[in-house]
Structure 1
Amino acid sequence: MKVPIDSDEKKTGPEKGASDAAQKTDTSGMSEQDMIEAAIRAGEQAAADDLKKDADKLAAERDEYAKKLDAAEEGQKKAEDAAKEAQDKYLRLQAEWQNFRKRTEQERTNERARANERLVEKLLPVLDDMERAIEHAKNTAGEDANLAQFADGIQAVHTKMLGVLGGEGVEVIDPAGEPFDPLTHQAVGREENADVYEDTVSQVYQKGYRMGGKVIRSAMVTVTYGGKKRPQEKKDGAAQGSK
């Protein structure tokens, strides 16, 4: 047996809302036209309510997706910032490593130079002794061929040693007749001589040496006085201006 279904139960959405509103409307004393208009207004109100519900739902979904998008953008920005920070740190470490390597290489070079310098300094007294022996042998050899040959042998060894040191950047400072230079010469006496410019190196008691541009031992010299003042050397600019 089929159960009769109320016609209002079949209605949904705006139709059901309009029907409900029409049922709630007091129809007593209303004309048929008024009842129709009331039903229309009720239907429109129900439709507006449904649209508002749908709009509110869509707005809520939109806000939710907007929050997720903001979170994703924030996460991306944090990731980009972290990547930039890591890149900057890598570049700093790379620069520090390069500086450390250069500094270490320079320190090793300096240490080798200091070691060579110390070795040369220890050999200098040997060169001095050889030079004194050569000078003494030549002054006393006279007609003694053996002594002269001995002096020549020492001279050859001395020359060879200077050649080896010269290959390591060692230069001899032998300033006899040159202007006195307090940076490379050590004055141990003065000698009057009016025939040469004042402050000229007269005698060299002990030769000096420089290595790699650095003076490792100053030359011990005597300096003249009583002569004319040495003229100042003009610089290129001053010389050109005087022309």
Structure 2
Amino acid sequence: MSDRNERTEAAATPASADSEEKDVKTTVEGVDEAPDTGDEAAEAPAMTEEEMVEAAIRAGEQAADEDFKLKLEKTQADLAALQEELTAAQEAREAADERARDAQDRVGRLQADWDNFRRRTAKERIEERDRATEKLICALFPVVDDMERAIEHARAQEMDESLSQFVEGVDAVRTKLLGVFSHEGVEPIEPAGEPFDPNVHQAVGRVEDASQFDETVNDVYQKGYRMAGKVLRPAMVTVTYGGAKRPAPEPEEPEGSEE
């Protein structure tokens, strides 16, 4: 029994010694750390609840400001890019408008040239037709003259029934030919008794006659013709002289004048 007790005490003795050593270390460490804790508390005093709220608000505002600045910078960059795109689009639109105006001007000039070409071509065709018509009609004037002289000579003679019918037939042909002339706008110039006009009359002789005004057409040896106001052939006439001067024509009253 005593040996067992001695072993138990011997075993307990080291354990107790170890415990005491641990307690000393703990105490020493506690003593060393205690002053440090006290210094930190002195350097950084505890914040109140209001201060903590204000600090949180300031931190939130700072974060919001930074986020706003980032968004503002991005928005400004996007705005600058959009402004550049808008400027480029406006320049492209102005260039397109200029091209459209040029194209419209070209179309207008081409349309005007085409209209002028059509009018000029139509006018040339009409003039060409008129020249061809004039040429043909002028070639027929001697034929009409011969027919009229033959009819006049035949009617001055004594004619039997057959010759009279033949003359009437020739006169009918002459009338049809003059109808063709009229259809083409050809008018005869028969100025007997009218004032002499050198523009449409060709004087081939003078006749003294005091009963008529001076320079009056007395005889028409050959009829003249005009077409559309143009004299194709002047009338061959004789002109009187020795008479009184023809009075000047009275001026025409303007239209719409009150009496």
Q: Do both proteins adopt the same fold according to a TM-score greater than 0.5, normalized to the shorter chain?
A: yes
Q: Which residue of 2 aligns with 1:78?
A: 95
Which of 145, 155, 178 aligns to 2:171? It is 155
Q: Which residue of 2 aligns with 1:133?
A: 150
Q: Which residue of 1 aligns with 2:32?
A: none
Select between 145-154 and 113-122 the one with higher mean Cα deviation: 145-154
Question: Aligned pair in 2 of structure 1 residues 47, 222: CA closer, same or farther (>3 Å)?
Answer: same
Unaligned runs of 5+ in 1: 1-30
Residues in 1 aligned to 2:180 and 2:65: alpha-carbon distance in whole angstroms: 109
Indicate yes or no: 2:109 matched with 1:92.
yes
Q: Which residue of 1 aligns with 2:19?
A: none
Deviation by residue 1:128-154 (Cα, 9 ceiling, x = unmatched): 111222233233x23665555543333
Q: How many residues of Structure 1 are paired with residues of Structure 2 in the alignment?
A: 210
Indicate yes or no: 2:200 matched with 1:206.
no
Indicate yes or no: 2:188 matched with 1:175.
no
Which of 31, 36, 61 aligns to 2:78? It is 61
User: Normalization by structure 1: what TM-score?
Assistant: 0.71
Question: Aligned pair in 2 of structure 1 residues 143, 99: CA closer, same or farther (>3 Å)?
Answer: closer
Question: Aligned pair in 2 of structure 1 residues 225, 32: CA closer, same or farther (>3 Å)?
Answer: farther
Which of 94, 118, 122 aligns to 2:135? It is 118
Select between 114-123 and 87-96 the one with higher mean Cα deviation: 87-96
Unaligned runs of 5+ in 2: 1-42, 46-50
Deviation at 1:200, TM superposition (A): 0.5
Question: Aligned pair in 2 of structure 1 residues 45, 126: CA closer, same or farther (>3 Å)?
Answer: same
Deviation at 1:83, TM superposition (A): 2.2
Deviation by residue 1:82-102 (Cα, 9 ceiling, x = unmatched): 223222322332232222222
Deviation by residue 1:192-214 (Cα, 9 ceiling, x = unmatched): 11010011001111110111222
Aligned AA (1:89) = R
Percent of matched pairs sharing the same residue: 53
Deviation at 1:112, TM superposition (A): 1.2
- The structure with the larger Rg is 2
Indicate yes or no: 2:251 matched with 1:235.
yes
User: Normalization by structure 2: what TM-score?
Assistant: 0.67
RMSD, aligned α-carbons: 3.5
